Amino acid sequence: MKNEVVPSLGNRAFAEPAAAAVAGRLLPPVLEIDDLHVQFSTSHGTVRAVEGLSYSVHPGEMVAIVGESGSGKSVSALAVMRLLPPGTARIPAGRVRFDGKELLQLSEEEMRRIRGREIAMIFQEPMTSLNPVLRIGLQIMEPLTIHLNMDERAARARAIELLTLVGITDPDSRLDQYPHQLSGGMRQRVMIAIGLACNPKLLIADEPTTALDVTIQAQILELMKDLSRRLGIAVIIITHNLGIVARYADRVNVMYAARLAESGTAERVFSRPLHPYARGLLAAVPRLDRGRSAKLATIEGAPPNLLAPPEGCRFRPRCKFAIDKCHEVPPFVAVEPGHVVSCHRASEVEELDRLPGQAATAARAAKANGADVILDIKHASKFFPIRSGLFGRQRMIRAVNDVTLDARRGETLGLVGESGCGKSTLGRLVLRLDDPTAGEIRFENVDLARLKRSQMVAVRKRMQVIFQDPYSSLNPRMTVGQIIAEPMRVHEVLPKPQVAGRVAELLQLVGLFPYMALRYPHELSGGQRQRVGIARALAVNPNVIVCDEAVSALDVSIQGQVINLLEDLQHKLGLTYLFIAHDLAVVRHISSKVAVMYLGRIVEYAPADTLFSSPKHPYTQALLAAAPIPDPVIERARPRRIISGELPSPLKPPVGCVFHPRCPLATEDCKKAVPATRELGPSHMVACIHA
Amino acid sequence: MVWFLIRRLLLVIPTLIGVAVAVFFLIRVMPGDVVVVKLRADGAAVSEETIQAERRRLGLDKPLYQQFADYMVGLTRLDLGKSLWTGDSVAREIAIRIPVSFQIALMATIIAVLIALPLGTISALYRDTWIDHSVRVLAVSGLAIPSFWLGMLIILALLSLFNWLPKIGYVSIFEDPLTNLSALIWPAISVGYRYAAVSTRMMRSALLEVMREDYIRTARAKGVWTSLIMRRHALRNALLPVVTVIGLEFAFLIGGLVVTEQVFNINGIGKLFVDATARGDFNLIQGLVLFIATIFIFVNLLVDILYAWLDPRIRLS
């Protein structure tokens, strides 16, 4: 313990004078966290969730806390609010000074008066963060009546004002609605309105947009940035998304395994990351502004278990540059004004990183071009009937509407779109988990919709799927070996005695070890589980794999590893992927062709580099504009055009072009007819009359 | 809402027909002949002719399909038939016993809710303290102790401690509330204890579940004080599963009454049920089962309506 307190004292000595020198930080800080420690007692021992964390936040500033799951970023924020679970969590050391008060010393009642009044907090899940049985109005008015003693009428007037401020139209009637009547984006706006109700000095936003689509994410973050500027509110934003940090944050604190690794202004940390972890993280993120030429650099291994963390530098076991000295906890070093790093080799890391040749820029040229078409989707549609009321007329949800796509052997067809656009349904049609309402889905020149069940079994062997959630898609009562062997058993691809050998082979192929066959899924990390999912898909030697958000649930450093694995496997085994995802950068990185889907229709379809460098459909353009790039220099120069509005209900899709209500280019003609798909360039299909 | 009610009420009809058919045939598998029981019960030597005459009088000599047809036709006219034992109409036999049983059931429910909501809440609030442990012991005992046995203990306790027993014979609460309550409170407690125990456990676990929800954290982050969080944010959400349990347990309550009314010698539905079964009074059993099924259906309907009232996400359509 003792040797861990010393370096963070060092942090204060270095960081504060340095920080004060940064322009715009002349006002005294509103929040100062100093040497904060948080521990959880569990049945397995003590988890040191936060260790020696120090940082400060100044008025009007947006400070980002970045880190992977379990790095302690959310726990430290809850510690500031004193909202940690009382039974298990402990704060053995640290000071949290807020506006002249020492928060950790306050009584519960004194702290309660600060919560919601002076410090407000917004949480990740807008779907579950509002009380489902109470009206929106009551929930917004609650802090007003509690902290400001407003009466019903005054509070209601202020609530209307707040809803207008956060961009909700028709605020008066919204107050009487319940949370389930609002969309996710709207609920997050309501959460912000609740946060802003009493004009707090500090707003803590814990992954505020992680559950939201990219266009809605941009709307929410723009709103927060704007409000913070206009009202002079300091904002702490906790996120794992480096693009968000680059676009919005003034300062960044990078956390790794309960400790601060690097801290500085966004520009400096992004342009000159000095902690090997921060460098690795930035290299591991697929970027929208880069093509698919290079393989992703990855950080090998996984974050340590905080029950028994490695001594010394927490990153040492994964660090390329680790030396003996790293067995001691590194102190914070101010490498330049306002930029501190906790690494023994901070001064040499740039030099070291240059030495080994950049990861092989493998020639991954479009060798698929000559190959035959393996998956051919022609005018496929899937309508789901829903009935309302006893004698209500039957209505249709057009989940997939007249989609035409194809994939050649050995290439990756990317499918992007926001939630509810129908991309997963299309994936299910390809696997024939659902039957198409109309159209053809040809796999190796056979129309799947015409096959009988028995014939489908043979096809299923050649077509596999990898799901999003590595936690719920593996049976917890089966060992890894049984999980991987199951498809082999079902399809009888191998004689029984050879199965165990094949399982071991597959485990090695996906970068795991044969002994793991005896483990159960809960003993593995998220990344390892996803590898098991991949091994299971490979077990029957498929030709096509549908990857439905296969890397979305993984942390950045793990995500890079899995993407590389998928690419390696594609090269080795000649696999074809249908890669369904909402993360545009990941799709750009992995796909050779990309289709953009909106409300059941493909609006644009082109080779990946063409689509991302010269998007033609206004929706594609809007998606790209909304997705932040992890580079503050680019982000700050980029004009910001955020489209307004949300995805309409698929029950009542707009007539004509489905995108016209949100489209900046929309004219009267757009409402008249569904635009035909036109070929603008070589294999560049666009469904827009203005493109 | 109106449509929902109409549809649900229409659904009651096929359900009850199903129950009627099932009961009709099931009880005929039962051994015992009401006529034999009635005429020869005290060992009297009654000639075979007399028995056959009585059977004819009651219509028991007709073939089964004929009896079934008569029964179903009667049902369409809401006629449950006549008791094979007393000759009184089944509807009347049941009707005169409804007030006492209904009052006991209602009192048991009130006792259960009055005990379960506060105890469950306290137990959840003081989780893993001695308060919580005591409440849980009390609740588990409630599940373990059969209500008739508790009833006997209560009678013994009243006798040995106060040398007093409640009056036998039913007095309406509107005539003499004191006598009425002093007689009926004991059976109500003995069946209500189990009811309270189940509901307390549900209340506790539902509340613990709700307290972990994100919106409770939101409320705390807003600076809402704990008692208001409980009242405004937690209770209503926690009540949803509790209401379900209270509704379902109502069926057990009637089951519990069957024996408990015997213990307290109360001439209610429960006792009628036991007597009818012992005598093989088919018509009466059929009527009682239909009656109880109807109550069960309506209690569940009530639960659904309560649900919609508690949770705006549930719309009755």
Q: What are the pLDDT digits (tens) for A627-640?
A: 888 888 888 888 77
At A237 the three-state DSSP class reads: strand
Number of H helices, E strands in chain B: 13, 0
Residues 6+ apart with CB under 8 A from A451: A432, A459
Has residue B118 got a pLDDT over 90? yes
Model confidence over B228-256: pLDDT tens digits?
A: 999 999 998 999 889 888 888 887 787 77
Q: What is the mean pLDDT of residues A158-168?
A: 90
How far is the alpha carbon of B192 from chain A, nearest alpha carbon, in Å? Answer: 30
Q: Using the beta-carbon criterion (under 8 Å), do B217 and A112 form an inter-chain contact?
A: no
Comparing A47-51, A146-150, A386-390, A563-567, the range with the smallest average pLDDT is A386-390
Over residues A268-288, the mean pLDDT reads 89
Q: At A13, is the pLDDT very low, low, confident or very high (cuts 50, 70, 90)?
A: very low
DSSP state of B212: T
Percent of chain A residues past pLDDT 70, beyond the cut: 92
User: Considering only CB atoms, which chain B residues are within 8 Å of A178?
Assistant: 312-313
Whether residues A133 and B224 touch (CB distance < 8 A) is answered with no
Report the relative pairing of strands A234-239 and A202-206 from DSSP bridges. Answer: parallel
- Chain A partners of B311 at a C-beta cutoff of 8 Å? 132-133
Rounded to a whole number, what is the distance in Å from the CA of B312 to chain A's nearest CA? 6
Phi first, then psi: what are they for A373, rounded to 5°? Answer: -80, 120
Q: Check A142 against B312: CB less than 8 A apart.
A: no
Instruction: State mean pLDDT over B5-23.
Output: 86
Higher pLDDT, A287 or A361: A287
B231 — contact with chain A (CB < 8 Å)? no
Q: Tell me the per-residue pLDDT of B160-196, one tens digit each, with 9 for 90 and over.
A: 998 888 777 777 888 888 888 888 899 999 999 989 9
Q: Which of A142, A148, A182, A203 to mutate to test the interface with B (most CBs of B within 10 A)?
A: A142
CATH architecture of residue range(s) B99-267:
Orthogonal Bundle (1.10)
Q: Do A115 and B221 touch (CB under 8 A)?
A: yes
pLDDT at residue A387 in the model? 66
Task: Please say if the pLDDT value at position A388 is more than 70.
Answer: no
How far away is chain B from the Cα of A3, in angstroms, using its nearest Cα?
34
Residue B309 Cα distances to A223, A338, B113, B313, B315, angstroms? 36, 56, 18, 10, 9
Q: Is B39 helix (H, G, I), strand (E, B) or coil?
A: helix
Give the mutation candidate from B6, B126, B215 for the A interface (greatest A CB count, under 10 A): B215
pLDDT band at A492 (very low <50, low <70, confident <90, very high): confident
Tell me whether residues B223 and A112 touch, CB distance under 8 A. Answer: yes
Closest CA to A658 of A596, A598, A597, A595: A598
User: pLDDT class for A78, splitting at 50, 70, 90?
Assistant: very high
Q: Is B223 on the interface with A (CB under 8 A)?
A: yes
Residues 126-165 of A with CB under 8 A from B: 128-134, 142-143, 146-147
pLDDT at A88 > cutoff 50? yes
Per-residue pLDDT tens digits for A435-486: 899 999 999 888 988 888 888 888 888 899 998 877 788 999 999 999 999 9
B265 interface with A at CB cutoff 8 Å: no
In tens, the pLDDT along A607-630 reads: 998 999 899 999 999 999 888 888
Q: Using alpha carbons only, what angle is made at residue A28 by residues A25 and A32, rounded to the nearest 5 degrees?
A: 100
Residues of B in contact with A131 (CB under 8 A): 215, 218-219, 233, 237
Q: Which of A104-113, A304-313, A539-548, B32-41 has the lowest mean pLDDT?
A: B32-41
pLDDT at B46 over 60: yes
User: In the prediction, which pLDDT does A653 show?
Assistant: 84
Examine the pLDDT at A370 and tell me if it is beyond 70.
Answer: no
> Nearest Cβ partner of B223 from A125, A146, A388?
A146
Q: Do A125 and B232 touch (CB under 8 A)?
A: no
B152 close to A (CB below 8 A): no
The pLDDT of B87-98, averaged and rounded, is: 86
Indicate yes or no: CB of A83 within 8 angstroms of CB of B217: yes
pLDDT value of position B54: 79
B217–A129 C-beta distance less than 8 A:
yes
Q: What is the pLDDT of residue B298?
A: 87
Question: Reading across the β-sheet that carries A684-686, which strands appear in turn?
Answer: A463-466, A544-548, A576-581, A412-416, A593-598, A601-607, A684-686, A678-681
Q: How many residues does chain A have?
A: 691
Res. B277: pLDDT tops 90: no
Angle at B307 between CA B304 and CA B308, to 5 degrees: 95
Contact (CB<8Å) A194/B311: no
Given an 8 Å threshold on Cβ–Cβ distance, is A128 in contact with B215? Answer: yes
CB contact under 8 A, A128 and B214: yes
* pLDDT at residue A109, as a whole number: 94
A284 has a pLDDT exceeding 80: yes
- Other CB atoms within 10 Å distance of the CB of residue A475: 12
Residue A14 pLDDT > 60: no
**A171-230: pLDDT as tens digits:** 998 999 999 888 888 898 899 999 989 989 999 999 888 878 888 888 889 888 888 888
Model confidence at A308, in pLDDT bands (50, 70, 90)?
Answer: confident
Say if residue A4's pLDDT is above 50: no
Check CB contact under 8 Å for B222 and A194: yes
CA distance to partner chain B, nearest, from residue A76 (Å): 15
In this model, does residue A364 exceed pLDDT 60?
no
What is the DSSP annotation of A421-482? SSHHHHHHHHTTSS--SEEEEEETTEEGGG--HHHHHHHHHTEEEE-S-TTTSS-TTS-HHH
Tokens describing residue A290: 């880069």
Q: Does B237 touch chain A (CB under 8 A)?
A: yes
Could you read off the pLDDT of A636-654 as tens digits, one per residue? 888 777 788 888 877 788 8
Quick check: A82 pLDDT over 90? yes
Taking CB atoms and an 8 Å cutoff, what residues of chain B touch A129? 214-215, 217-218
**Residue A647, pLDDT score:** 81
**Mutant choice from B218, B225, B231 vs A, greatest count of A C-beta within 10 A:** B218
Q: Provide mean pLDDT across the span A270-289.
A: 88
pLDDT at A147 over 90: yes
Q: Chain A: nearest CA to B195, how far in angstroms?
A: 27
Torsion of Cα atoms, A416 then A422 then A426 then A429, to 10°: 160
> According to the model, what pLDDT value does residue A10 have?
38
Mean pLDDT of chain B: 86
Q: Which residue, chain included where needed, has tokens 């000559």?
A: A370
Kindly indicate the confidence band of residue A389, based on its pLDDT and cuts at 50, 70 and 90.
Answer: low
Q: Which stretch of DSSP H or E encloses residue B36?
A: helix B34-40
CA distance B207 to chain A (A): 14
Mean pLDDT of all residues belonging to chain A: 86
Chain A within 8 Å of B7 (Cβ-Cβ)?
Answer: yes
Are B237 and A133 an interchain contact pair (Cβ–Cβ within 8 Å)?
Answer: yes
Q: What is the DSSP string of A181-230?
A: GS-HHHHHHHHHHHHHTT--SEEEEESTTTTS-HHHHHHHHHHHHHHHHH
pLDDT for the residue A26: 67
Q: Where in chain B is the domain with CATH 1.10.3720.10?
A: 99-267
Contact residues, chain B, for A132 at CB < 8 Å: 215, 237, 311-313
Per-residue confidence (pLDDT) for residue B234, from 0 to 100: 93
pLDDT of amino acid A393: 63
Nearest CA in chain A to B311: A133
